[in-house]
Structure 1
Amino acid sequence: MDVPSTALFTDHYELTMLQAALRGGTAERRSVFEVFTRRLPEGRRYGVVAGTGRVLDAVENFRFDADVLDFLRERGVVDEATLAWLADYRFGGDIWGYPEGEVYFPGSPVLRVEGTFAECVLLETVVLSILNHDSAIAAAASRMAAAAGGRGLIEMGARRTHELGAVAASRAAYVGGFDSTSCLAAGFRYGIPTVGTSAHAFILLHDSERDAFRVQVEALGRGTTLLVDTYDVAEAVRTAVEVAGPGLGAVRIDSGDLLLVAHRVRQQLDALGARDTRIVVTSDLDEYAIASLAAAPVDAYGVGTQLVTGSGHPTCSMVYKLVARADSAEPSAPLRPVAKKSLGGKASSGGRKWAARRDDAEVVGTGPVPPSLADRQLLVPLVKAGEVVAREPLEAARSRHAAARAALPLSAVQLSRGEPVLPTEYVTS
């Protein structure tokens, strides 16, 4: 199966910079770019690295095929010499990064891309597009998972975002701690468990709620989830147990005062002998609403809009900056630090960096790694000489995140506004 090229998931100026660098003789200078964020979204205590696996796919498929080159030629984006260079483009450098699912803090070099200026600069937009989106969703998912306290979490936001973004959001939410998704495309592409039963339209289709429940149970079995808030919740719960019996799998509540209604439904189910029937709640939930339901007899939460929009923070504001480059195209030319200096808090820090984590700080530095931090380094090789070396199952990233979050101070999962739970400490050689 042909895999679509990712080469046009980029900005026009990446190619015009390339053309100018080729013309000026600087395109082949060895360079180091780093991805980091200067600050976390307001009130967040930690970030979550997500999308790394998708970045590796994007780099691998960053190819300028004939159709892409024809488009660039017709639009006059770059000249023929640049088109000829692009026709043979294959990223041949190295990429290091925080492994997917790891947490990060301001200044953390979550990705480091090394190679020639020409081959590295082209990847800027697609790398940032993926990491900014997926990390934002994973961070929201992580906060919701912490608030849920081990109760089930269902991602169900596909109808609230772009159709392709929905698949990426499902993946990121799974990394962040969600258990399943309603999005079949995400299940197909990434192996995420999928769930779903019926909506209010199914109830309204039938002549009575009893008829709808009967048909659903006959079709899907007694373990199905019946939606009980279309008309009268108490009557619906009674009818649901009469139709399915005490072995009914679950009921779903999608409106009203969820805390109050959940308590009433639990009492009613228990009184009807359906003690093992689970309660699932939906309805515009976010981490704060989930936390407010901690005392409710709820077994699972379904989250849509707030999750796929990053719960108010749809991007992580990550940037892709040149931090070191050689003075010539000679392979042996030494690297020297470079950095942007500007007003408005947008300056960058030069030098090829490493990162390590102590119990009390995120440590970012240049030069030799102190022996005391040698076994605490965070960056791992992802691509070597153009070849991906770090493919892993999505479950690995999900498990890694659970462990990383658990290792943070307890204040990390507080929903009150505050500073990053670990400060970033900079050291230089």
Structure 2
Amino acid sequence: MSTLRPALLTDQYELTMVSAALSDGTADRRCVFEVFSRRLPAGRRYGVVAGTGRLVDMIRDFRFDPAEIDFLRRTGVVDDRAARWLADYRFTGDIDGYAEGELFFPGSPILTVSGTFAECVVLETLVLSVLNHDCAIAAAAARMVTAARGRALIEMGSRRAHEEAAVAAARSAYLAGFRFTSNLAAGQRYGIPTAGTAAHAFTLLHDDERAAFASQVATLGKDTTLLVDTYDIAQGIRNAIAVAGPELRAVRIDSGDLAVIAQQSRELLDSLGATETKIIVSGDLDEYAIASLAAEPVDMYGAGTAVVTGSGAPTAGLVYKLVEVEGRPVVKRSEHKATIGGRKVAVRRHKPTGTATEEIVVPQGVPDRQPNDRLLQHSYVVSGEPVSLPTLDESREHLRQCLISIPWEGLKLSGGDPAVPLTVVPAT
């Protein structure tokens, strides 16, 4: 079965609202929708904006083809008027938001979509689907990068996620600072460096471990990684060095008490003359497991399941809410789900040293700018046309700089207040 086009990656009520609005004449009212989170996942002190580059590409291709419209009409989702409207659908509005790699906090207006009610509301599900997933992955991956303290990480979670989610997760992990991915589609689409050598199955295929290692080295050379824990780890390391020599690039360990095994493996490698052979560890690692290995002789971490599932927070908890109609602020007053009306402008306030101190959000106005303030919103789409966006590597560097800018307490893995407080102030 072929992959669905973006237009049907939506909830039915988006289109039933369009049908009703077209019928009562409100569909063309100029509206502003905002994406924000009411709270961060438990234990998190910041969120990471990710997925906006993917989202802009999908909105550019957001069209309803005749077969899709026929399905919607035949199943009663839309009436004839709405079907004709969908046939001509093109997003002609504006999209502004925080840059990919920017940090966000509860209440940060990370994306603003403006245009007619109908053309904006029909994008709601797609916007939230992309951003909730990618932001969650990027935040988890950023915490792992911090825990790794400069050591390299490889994302290897493809087998633990939906096939397309795996590609998006690899992109978000790279944005967050992972150095490699095992996912080849992510390598092709986004230019992410890929890595991978062999699984336990390759060792089990051969008559003995040495034969498997010899085959791998003969094909890939000594600049490869040998998986040494299929049988006995110590003997596996001896076999690896016996076959490849002390010039072997790395060994990988995927099981056991990694702290103890890493120490023992380093000692054994050094005793065999393989002082430059690196140690890579994997096996259900999350940010806490990585942090626990900080003092051990580990050179690279492989993380999979925890990355692609957001390390316990698989969604960023973002919502898409109407905040303005025809220039008039509108407010949802539901208990525990209230919104602040009006289109918002946000700046990040910094000390002269570069440390972030506060995020200032102003509804329907312009912040009173101070010398070290940084405006957070940028244009993504203008009058329906995408604008030039940063590259993935530029966004990756932007996140690195953002993480440097927050107070060190904000990088802790323990729960606590958001790394930077957010203040909503009246317009000046």
Q: TM bucket by the smaller chain?
A: over 0.9
Task: State the alpha-carbon separation in 1 of the partners of residues 13 and 20 from structure 2.
Answer: 10
| 2:84 is the alignment partner of 1:67 | no
Letter in 2 for 1:130: V
User: In the alignment, which of 376, 386, 405 is matched to residue 388 of structure 1?
Assistant: 386
Relative distance call for 1:210 and 1:374 in structure 2 (3 A) is closer
How far, CA to CA, are the matches of 1:199 and 1:113 in structure 2? 46
- Which of 375, 378, 382 lines up with 2:376 in the alignment? 378
Partner residue, 2:361: 364
- Per the TM alignment, residue 74 of structure 1 is displaced from its structure 2 partner at its CA by 1.7
Q: Output the CA distance in 2 between the equivalents of 1:234 and 1:224.
A: 19
Paired AA for residue 350 in structure 1 = G
Query: 1:48: which partner in 2?
Result: 48
4+ residue runs over 3 A deviation: 2-5
Q: What RMSD in Å do the two structures reach over aligned CA positions?
A: 1.3
Q: Which is further off, 94-103 or 229-238? A: 229-238
Deviation at 1:3, TM superposition (A): 10
In the TM superposition, residue 374 of structure 1 has moved relative to its aligned partner by: 8.9
5+ long unaligned stretches in structure 1: 327-334
Q: Which residue of 2 aligns with 1:352?
A: 343
Indicate conservation of the 8 Å contact 1:141/1:307, yes or no.
yes
Q: Distance in 2 between matches of 1:142 and 1:200?
A: 29
- CA contact 1:4–1:61 (8 Å) conserved in 2: no
Counterpart in the other structure of 1:255: 255
Moved more, 411-420 or 135-144: 411-420
Give SS of 2:53's match: helix
Work out whether residues 5 and 65 of structure 1, in 8 Å CA contact, stay in contact via their aligned partners in 2.
no
Q: For 1:427, give the aligned amino acid.
A: V
Counterparts of 1:20-419 in structure 2, within 5 Å, are 20-326=20-326, 335-343=327-335, 345-358=336-349, 359-366=356-363, 367-372=365-370, 375-419=373-417
Answer whether contact 2:254 2:281 (CA < 8 A) is retained: yes
- Cα distance in 2, alignment partners of residues 26 and 416 from structure 1: 48
| Whole-angstrom CA distance in 2 between matches of 1:357 and 1:397 | 17
What is the CA distance between 1:375 and its match in structure 2? 4.9
- Distance change in 2, residues 1:3/1:397 (3 Å): farther
Q: What CA distance in whole angstroms lies between the structure 1 residues aligned with 2:261 and 2:308? A: 26
**Could you tell me whether the CA contact under 8 Å between 2:411 and 2:419 is conserved in 1?**
no
Taking only the aligned residue pairs, the percentage that are identical comes to 60
SS at match of 2:263: helix
Q: Distance in 1 between matches of 2:81 and 2:300?
A: 58
Q: Deviations over 1:374-421 (max 9, x none)?
A: 952100011000000133321111111111111111112111111111
Instruction: Indicate if the aligned counterparts of 1:40 and 1:105 stay in contact, CA closer than 8 A.
Output: yes
C-alpha deviation, 1:368, in angstroms: 2.4
Decide whether the 8 Å contact of 2:361 with 2:367 is kept in 1. Answer: no
Size of the aligned set, in residue pairs, is: 419
Contact 1:28 1:117 in 2 (8 A): yes
Q: Deviations over 1:337-387 (max 9, x none)?
A: 0010011x1111101100111132111112122132795210001100000
User: Which TM-score applies when normalising by structure 1?
Assistant: 0.96
